[in-house]
Structure 1
Amino acid sequence: MSRLLPALALVLPFLITPSLAAAEVATAQRQVDAQQLDAAEATLETHLARQPDDSEAQFLLARVRAWQGRPEQALALYKLLLQREPDNADYLLGHGQALLWAGQPQAALTSLERAAEVAPDYLEVQQVMQQARAALTSPVSATAPLAAAPAQRRHELELSARQDWLDNGFDNWRSQRLDYSSTQPEGLGWYGALLREQRFGEWDNGVEAGAVIALDDNWTLQPEVGYQPSPYFLPEWHADLRLQRRLPAGFLGAASVRRTQYETTRVDRLALSAERYWDSWRAGYTLNVTDVANAGTPIGHDLALDYYYQGLSYAGVRVTVGEEEAVEEQQLITSDVRALSLQGRHWLDDRWALTWEVGQHRQGDYYTRRWLQLGLRHAF
């Protein structure tokens, strides 16, 4: 018996330590479930001081720090975890979420796309990929599941020029735009543009401005206005209000109303849209119902299909059919339209991108218009 007690004294710590470690991680998880993030962080830090290589505790601590609004500190832990298990879909997802909340949505897509390859049926990976793309294309993305995670604001500036060639004796068109946008996941976003267009030998100048307001995790409101001080063919002003709802399984739904005021008439439009994101694809459809004062109610359909590659670079096709109003020599006309265009944005690195668009638009029997647009975009 005297020999057994010293042996037990040596073995007992090794028997107790694993169960104690599991109990500490379980305690931290209960604290997280109760949204006691500070307490959970303290529990995990104490535990990791004794067992610094516990991957389960490191993973939970990384998520806690991201939920506390410190995604940069979470990224250091995810780096260690991914060094050990580079194909762990949970770690890749968490790494992508932390990058998104740190204001690096394009970098987030690299981890998320890898997670989608490893676990193609992982629904949450698809949802966060959608949020990362939305964070770069609009100011709407999801919040952290337990606490708001502030992310850096992203600004983008684009200078573009467009040339339109018309047949049937119509003069060609030209236009230039300077677009600016400021986005932040779960924050207020805004955008604006300066524009000038030449048609029929005349130049029109104008400005546009809008905002995207996240009402909650799923609803966003987007008001927009435009104004031309002395228009010849552009409208005097327009106002648009769009309400968008994020739906399960990568779907988005939206409705918008728009009023456009010309010198001689007014145009009201109702647009109903549906979008779906899955894997590297986005598909969209919009029904446009337009009320032209004293000129009928044209109905049009817009279809879109985009393929994303290398983060947020994409190429897409747009198709328009139905009826549409157009301005010809200061007269508003309505006619059948058929339009097809290809467009895209190719990111050269994290800051610079080239944008492009080519297309053809048939405006009833009036003319066929073909165009080319090129732009240079800078993120900062």
Structure 2
Amino acid sequence: MSWLRALVLALPVVCTPSLAHADIAAAQRQVEAQQLDAAETTLIAHLAAQPDDREAQFLLARVRAWQGRPEQALPLYERLLQQEPDNADYLFGQGQALLWAGRPQTALVSLERAATLAPDYTEVKQVIQQARAALTSPVTGTTPVTAAPAQRRHELELSTRQDWLDSGFDNWRSQRLDYTSTQPEGLGWYGALLREQRFGEWDEGVEAGAVIPLATNWTLQPEVGFQPSSYFLPKWHADLRLQRRLPAGFLGAASVRRTEYDSTRVDRLALSGERYWGAWRAGYTLNITDVANAGTPVGHDLALDYFYNGLSYAGLRLTVGEEESVEEQRVITSDVHAISLQGRHWFARRWALGWEIGHHRQGDYYTRRWLQIGLRHAF
């Protein structure tokens, strides 16, 4: 009977792997049936018996994130990554949970590492685009139906700018206080207080706008601005932009804008396209402007941005064509050539430095050079 006793002792060892597999298979079926609470219960019971089962830990982390509790998923991802720091799936899951928890900058650290380890991981690239867009556009890429929306993010930026002009024109100065509130897949809004000095006069004004998700991949962005006692700035402007997210990292948009000055009215149609790939973004905008009693200038704007260390970026801007400008309460149209470098560097989790330098030639009227510095705080 010794053989029978040996068989009885061996049965738990033989059966445990198959039972463990059965538990995980059952949890996966419950996930597919959208029974997330039941899947969580199954996995918790399984891990009570086998706490080191990484497959079960990984599935439980995803289930908790899908339930709208990404913060509870993060300790599981941290434990998994301590054991396998180069696992692209774990890094992807951690990055996605961080994004849904409203921490896009931190999410990009994990996501970009996953992209380095697995360059062909398509889902990682998609979520990287979502995280980069989270600070600038409330509507990002497609999120699983079971995922909870990320927390709302607010930002304030105080900036100052100095422009140096030649040809006998006085230099310009300006200050801005900008506020933005964004949430992936949700409504966003922004506003600004501004004051500018030109020709020895100061103008002050306000701006406000919103980004409204209409449907999957579509957003509408209205914006208005008002200067109560304008000298060189417009009395008011109104802008309406319609944007469509396209496959393969492309984005298209069209906007119409009316700007009202004391002496004239300016209408503009802007057609733009963008492409995101890897750590890069490229954009082109065609501006067709109708200046009342002064012709129809056409301009072209080009942009190229490189993202690094999460949401930090450096970019190049080029402008050629014709453009309207206000000189001593008079709107003029002239050839324009401009180039600028700009960027935003996040030196801490919630603090960033914005900067821009540029050179602008306004036909034969003047050449303008500028420097802008801003301090941004996220909360």
| Displacement of 1:143 | 5.3
Paired-residue identity, %? 81
Partner of 1:34: 33
What is the CA deviation profile of residues 38-59 of structure 1, one whole-angstrom value per residue up to 9, with x for unaligned ones? 1211221122122211111111
Partner of 1:294: 293
Paired AA for residue 103 in structure 1:
G
Partner of 1:204: 203
| Displacement of 1:256 | 1.4
Partner of 1:120: 119
Q: Distance in 2 between matches of 1:19 and 1:218?
A: 44
| Displacement of 1:96 | 0.5
What is the CA deviation profile of residues 200-247 of structure 1, one whole-angstrom value per residue up to 9, with x for unaligned ones? 111111000011122344222211110111111111111111122222
Q: Is the 8 A contact 2:265 2:291 kept in 1?
A: yes
Q: Is the 8 A contact 2:272 2:284 kept in 1?
A: yes
| Displacement of 1:29 | 1.4
| Displacement of 1:370 | 0.8
Q: Distance in 2 between matches of 1:28 and 1:253?
A: 41
Partner of 2:316: 317
Give runs of aligned pairs for residues 132-281 of structure 1, distance below 5 A.
132-142=131-141, 144-281=143-280
Bigger drift between 366-375 and 23-32 goes to 23-32
Q: Distance in 1 between matches of 2:252 and 2:94?
A: 29
Q: Distance in 2 between matches of 1:217 and 1:132?
A: 17
Paired AA for residue 64 in structure 2:
R
Q: Distance in 1 between matches of 2:90 and 2:204?
A: 50
Paired AA for residue 75 in structure 2:
A
- 1:339 counterpart = 2:351: no
Q: Is the 8 A contact 2:65 2:147 kept in 1?
A: no
Q: Secondary structure at the match of 2:293?
A: coil
| Displacement of 1:249 | 2.1
Q: Distance in 1 between matches of 2:147 and 2:214?
A: 14
Q: Distance in 2 between matches of 1:255 and 1:36?
A: 42
Paired AA for residue 198 in structure 1:
Q
Bigger drift between 355-364 and 238-247 goes to 238-247
Paired AA for residue 272 in structure 1:
L
TM value normalised by structure 1? 0.96
Q: Distance in 1 between matches of 2:145 and 2:5?
A: 48
Give runs of aligned pairs for residues 71-90 of structure 1, distance below 5 A.
71-90=70-89
Q: Distance in 2 between matches of 1:171 and 1:4?
A: 102
Q: Is the 8 A contact 1:126 1:250 kept in 2?
A: no
Partner of 2:109: 110
What is the CA deviation profile of residues 271-300 of structure 1, one whole-angstrom value per residue up to 9, with x for unaligned ones? 112112222211111111112222222111
Listed as ranges, the gaps of 5+ residues in structure 2 are none
Q: Is the 8 A contact 1:255 1:270 kept in 2?
A: yes
TM value normalised by structure 2? 0.96
What is the CA deviation profile of residues 33-88 of structure 1, one whole-angstrom value per residue up to 9, with x for unaligned ones? 22221121122112212221111111111111111110001101100111111111
CA RMSD of aligned residues (A): 1.4
Listed as ranges, the gaps of 5+ residues in structure 1 are none
Q: Is the 8 A contact 2:161 2:175 kept in 1?
A: yes
Partner of 1:15: 14
Q: Is the 8 A contact 1:35 1:146 kept in 2?
A: no
Partner of 1:360: 359
Q: Distance in 2 between matches of 1:12 and 1:146?
A: 42
Paired AA for residue 314 in structure 1:
Y
What is the CA deviation profile of residues 72-108 of structure 1, one whole-angstrom value per residue up to 9, with x for unaligned ones? 0110110011111111111101100101111111111
Q: Is the 8 A contact 2:324 2:334 kept in 1?
A: yes
Q: Distance in 1 between matches of 2:13 and 2:249?
A: 48
